[in-house]
Amino acid sequence: MPDLITLEPGIHFFPGGVNIGILEDVYGKCLIIDTGLDSDHAKKLLKALQSWNLTPAAILNTHSHADHYGGNALILQRHPEIEVFAPPMEAAIIQFPVLEPLYLFGARPIKELQGKFLMGKPSLAAAIPQTGLTQIAGIPLELISVPGHACEMYAVRMGNVLFASDALFGEEVLQKHPLTYCVDSRAQKDSVRKLQALEGIEVTLPGHGNPCHDLKHLCETNLQSLQTTTDAVLQALDTPATIDEVLTRTCNLLNLHMHNPASVVLNRSVVSAHLTELLELGQVGQQVTGNRWEWMRL
Ligand SMILES: [Zn+2]
């Protein structure tokens, strides 16, 4: 049975495919940071909280990917009195989950794109537009804006502990997944640099992977991985190609194999993000010719 792991007094996480952060107040209540992929995961979380005599006070979703909010519905069913908070654009997707496969596919998504990895159960979510020092359900914390992996995303700092969410991936995760998801690779790199500049962080918990005691090094590894992807996308453009052709070539270069439509739309989104960055750097161009939308190295 998985259990909470304590990082600092009153600051825990529930390990799993996605790490869930738990911040205690002094009255036995807690803020839940992200809720995992589905109801099963949320049930296990609630059991663990119960064994610690902790009651949920609120949920903060760092961003709107289904593996980070998929447990909301079950927790709200058991605790209808609590509120869910999220960055504003992300709150919209959490309330209308079809937006995620809709923007990835570009039209009403086929059923293969409506599985639980791309669409969680909907829940109401209140937008938190302000970052910086704040309180959620009376629990003090600092929200740090780290867009790039998603349109908007918040990392959470409590003293010397940083919940980085998917602004940072654990090193073991980067090795397994060379094409980490992002919608804006330039913003993702900027967000990593922003976290790298933080002083006084002793423990960093990425959204996926193990806690890390060397934030600067973890940031460096993430930056290198992002740059490897940018370089692979540029290398893939040895001759002009459509985005789908760049995707195939990039996957071949990184020895990555896609097996279903969900992995194609996710990875195509990553390739598009890096193409946009390269376009804005003046290293690639694009034009529509002969009914083909081609991208080329400049
Ligand atoms: Zn994510």
Mean pLDDT, the chain, as a whole number?
97
Phi-psi region of 157 (alpha: psi -120 to 50; beta: other; left: phi over 0): beta
| Residue ranges of the chain assigned to CATH 1.10.10.10 | 232-297
150 CA to middle of ligand 1, Å?
7
Judged against a pLDDT cut of 90, whether residue 178 lies above it is answered with no
Tell me the mean pLDDT in the region 225-232.
97
Rounded to 10°, the helix 243-253/215-236 angle is 120
Interval 179-195 mean pLDDT: 97
Residue 221 CA to residue 7 CA, distance in Å, equals 22
pTM of the predicted model as reported, rounded to 2 decimal places? 0.96
| Predicted confidence band of residue 172 (pLDDT cuts 50, 70, 90) | very high
- Best CATH choice for the domain 232-297 from the list 3.40.309.10, 3.40.50.300, 1.10.1740.10, 1.10.10.10: 1.10.10.10
- Render pLDDT for 251-275 as a digit per residue (tens, 0 to 9): 999 999 999 999 999 999 999 999 9
Distance between Cα 67 and ligand 1 center (Å): 7
Question: What's the confidence (pLDDT) of residue 89?
Answer: 97
Mean pLDDT of 263-288: 98
Name the percent of the chain lying above pLDDT 70.
100
What's CA 261's distance to the chain center, in Å?
Answer: 20
Decide: residue 81, CB within 10 A, 0-12 exposed, 13-18 middle, 19+ buried: exposed
CATH 3.60.15.10 intervals, the chain: 5-228
Q: How far is the CA of 207 from the centre of ligand 1 (A)?
A: 8
CATH architecture for the domain at 5-228:
4-Layer Sandwich (3.60)
Helix (H, G, I), strand (E, B) or coil at 131: coil
Q: What is the pLDDT of residue 2?
A: 80
Q: Which residues pair with 204 in a beta bridge?
A: 162, 212
**How far is the centre of ligand 1, averaged over its atoms, from the C-alpha of 128 (Å)?**
18
Q: What is the mean pLDDT of residues 21-37?
A: 97
Q: What is the mean pLDDT of residues 60-66?
A: 98
Q: Give distance in angstroms: CA of 298 to centre of ligand 1.
A: 32
Compute the distance from residue 240 Cα to the ligand 1 centre, in Å.
Answer: 31
* Distance in angstroms (rounded) separating the CA atoms of residues 162 and 215: 9
Q: Are 52 and 13 in contact (CB under 8 A)?
A: no
What distance in angstroms lies between residue 65's CA and the mean position of ligand 1's atoms? Answer: 5
Q: Is the pLDDT of residue 293 over 90?
A: yes
Tell me: pLDDT of 1 over 80: no
